[in-house]
Structure formats: C-alpha cells, structure tokens
Amino acid sequence: MASELNTRALQQVTSESTTPALLSVRNLNKTYPDGTQALHDVSLDIPSGQLVAVIGLSGAGKSTFMRCVNRLVEPTSGQIVFDGQDVTRARRGDLRRIRRQMGMIFQQFNLVQRLPVVTNVLHGRLGYTSAVRGCLGRFPQHEVEQALEMLAQVGLADQAFKRCSELSGGQMQRVGIARAMMQGAALILADEPIASLDVSSSEKVMTILKEVATAQRITTIVNLHQVDFAQQFADRVIGLRDGSVFCDMPTDGLTEDLIRDLYYGHVPQQDEED
C-alpha cells in the first residue's frame, strides 16, 4: 500500500501556495452522535475564485464537509479558517456574520415554499437586516430592486411573484442561486445542486454557477455525483472516500484510473450496499 500513499501525497499538490487561501481547513473530523465517523482528518486550502468540485460515493462525507464549513453541522475537531476568521471558534453573532458571507445551495433547494420567489431571494439579505425588520420581512426598496435584478440574471424575472411551490425544480434551484448571490457571498457552497434535475436544467444551473464564479470571482465548492459535470465545469476536483481526502488536483489531472479507484477501488466491506 506504500505506492498508494505516494500517489496520494503527489496528488495533494494544490494550486500556487503563494495565494492566500480564502478557505483553509485543517484536520477536520466529524463523528455523529450515533458513532458514524463521517469525516476523517480532512485538510484543504481553497484560494479565491476557484470552482472546486467535491466528488465521491454516497456516504463519503461530501455533505458533512460542506455543512461543517458553515457550521450547520458542528465539527468534532479541527480548524476552519475563512477569510482570516476562525469559523470553528465563532460564537453566535460572529457565526451569523460568517454565514452571510457564505451562500449555500441545497439539493432540495430549501426555499420557503409558501413565500413568493422574490421574498426567498430577499432572504439573502437577512444577515444584514435588523432582527425585527427581518422577522417581519420588511426590506428596503433598493434591496427589492436588487433581488428583482438577480432574478433577471438567472432568467426568472417573470416568476418573481409566484409562490415558490409553484416553480419547477430547475427554477427553484436558480432561485437558490439568486438567494446566495443576494448575500454578496465570497464563498458559495452548493450541495449537489443538480442531483434532482434533468440534464438541460443541470447544464443551465452549472453554467450559471460557473459564470458567477468567474465573473464575480466568487469561490465555489460544488458537491457532485456526476463526474462528467465536474470535469466540464470545475477548475479543481477533490475526491472524498470514506471521510478522507482521496485525491485533490486540477481537473485535467483527473484520470480514468483515479475515478475508477475513487468509486470502485473500494475495499469491499460487509455491508457496502450503495
């Protein structure tokens, strides 16, 4: 197994080490209360403006990793530094300020179904709004105009006043992106944003994400099941296996062999049903 250790060491070469990382993760571990160890000593540096795809089998820990970054899941140990701020140590108010700089996009969209589309986009401003005004959903005119502008950017200008529940999946995901953009985030975390979409909606959503990442230099981490989409859109690919970083490289370094190893080179375990 020494050879594998060597290749892994080589593969962990990240981009220019001179660029200060926007997100820096050190020795991140997560064990769920039921004893499942979902993340095992994960360390990464992600510089500004990169679009990073995280791939790996179901259960590899992709979602857990992403949720640790904005602490929707509490890490068990390790350190996460985002833009010079220690995320893992942040207390309530600080954590909210950090979260508003990280837009999150979910597989199931996680929009408030009974509210109109434009209100869901405006939720991106909650982190900047006073508690009471935010609670009552009173947003100033310029923010409403900005939200309508965002909706136009993702091609949903004509859907602004529909209830979210009336949209198609692909449209909902674009609302999710608009909400994240509305946050003015420096980092976008997208957890399988296209897993429940058809191919053409998937391409639309990924193209928008890519545009946002390049045009506005917003760092984007995308969990993906589809390796081909990762290869088509990402600058860099990180492979997770059983909670550890298995490979981490620029997209064009990803070979068929590696992919096979990541997905099928699994040492079979008694109950690997996925």
Partner 1 sequence: MAVSSSRSAVRRSPAPTYAHYRQYKQQRVRRNLVVWAVVFGAVTWAVWSSGFGLLTLFNGLSESYSFIVTDALPPKLESVPDYLGPTLETLYMSVVGLVISVVISVPIGILGARNTTVHRVVSYLAKSIAGIARAAPSLVITVFFVAVFGVGPLAGTLALGLGGVGILGKVYADAIEEIDAAQIEGVRSTGASWLQILGQGVWPQFKPAFMTWTQYRFERNVRGGAVIGLVGGGGLGFSLISAINLYQFRDAMTIILMIFVMVMVIELATRALRRRAI
Ligand X SMILES: Nc1ncnc2c1ncn2[C@@H]1O[C@H](COP(=O)(O)OP(=O)(O)OP(=O)(O)O)[C@@H](O)[C@H]1O
Distance CA(63)–CA(59), nearest Å, equals 9
Q: Pick from 63, 88, 129, 202 the residue near Mg ion by CB under 5 A.
A: 63
Question: Is residue 69 within a helix (H) or strand (E), and if so which, with residue range?
Answer: helix 62-69
Q: Give 51 or 60: the residue with its C-beta nearer to partner 1.
A: 60
Using the rule CB under 6 A, give the single segment among 57-65, 112-120, 147-155, 264-272 that binds ligand X: 57-65
Chain residue at closest Cβ approach to Mg ion:
63
Looking at residues 155 to 174 of the shown chain, list those that interact with ligand X (rule: CB under 6 A): none
Residue 58 touches which of Mg ion, ligand X, partner 1, none (Cβ within 5-8 Å per kind):
ligand X
Q: Where are the beta strands (DSSP E) in the chain?
A: 21-31, 37-47, 51-55, 77-82, 85-86, 102-105, 187-191, 219-223, 236-241, 244-250
The least CB distance from residue 110 to partner 1, in Å, is 3
Nearer to Mg ion by Cβ, of 63 and 201: the residue is 63
- What's the sign of the alpha-carbon dihedral 134, 135, 138, 143? positive
The site partner of 184 among partner 1, Mg ion, ligand X, none (C-beta below 5 to 8 Å per kind) is none
Q: Does 176 bind ligand X (CB under 6 A)?
A: no
Distance CA 43, CA 244 (A): 9
64 binds, among ligand X, partner 1, Mg ion, none (CB under 5 to 8 A by kind): ligand X
Return the CA Rg of the chain. Answer: 19
Stretch of residues binding ligand X (CB under 6 A), selected from 42-50, 59-67, 123-131, 264-272: 59-67
| 55 close to 112: Cβ distance less than 8 angstroms | no
- Our CA angle for 247, 186, 213, nearest 5°, is 65
- Alpha-carbon distances, residue 132 vs 135, 136, 220 (angstroms): 5, 6, 31
Q: How far is the CB of 252 from Mg ion (least distance, A)?
A: 26
Residue selected from 21, 25, 38, 224 as contacting ligand X according to rule CB under 6 A = 38
Distance (Å, whole) CA 254 – CA 237: 8
Binding span for ligand X by CB under 6 A among 8-16, 53-61, 116-124, 202-210: 53-61
Measured from the CB of residue 87, what is the shortest distance to ligand X in angstroms?
18
Which residue lies nearer to ligand X by CB, 25 or 154?
Answer: 25
Contacted by 174, from Mg ion, ligand X, partner 1, none: CB < 5 to 8 Å by type: none
CA distance 217 to 223: 19
* Cα–Cα distance list, 191 to 46, 180, 257, 271 (Å): 17, 13, 25, 26
Binding stretches for partner 1 (CB under 8 A)? 1, 4-5, 35-38, 40, 59, 70, 72, 96-104, 106, 108-115, 119, 123-127, 129, 131-132, 134-137, 176, 179, 183, 241-244, 267, 269-271
Rounded CA-CA distance 187/18 in Å is 20
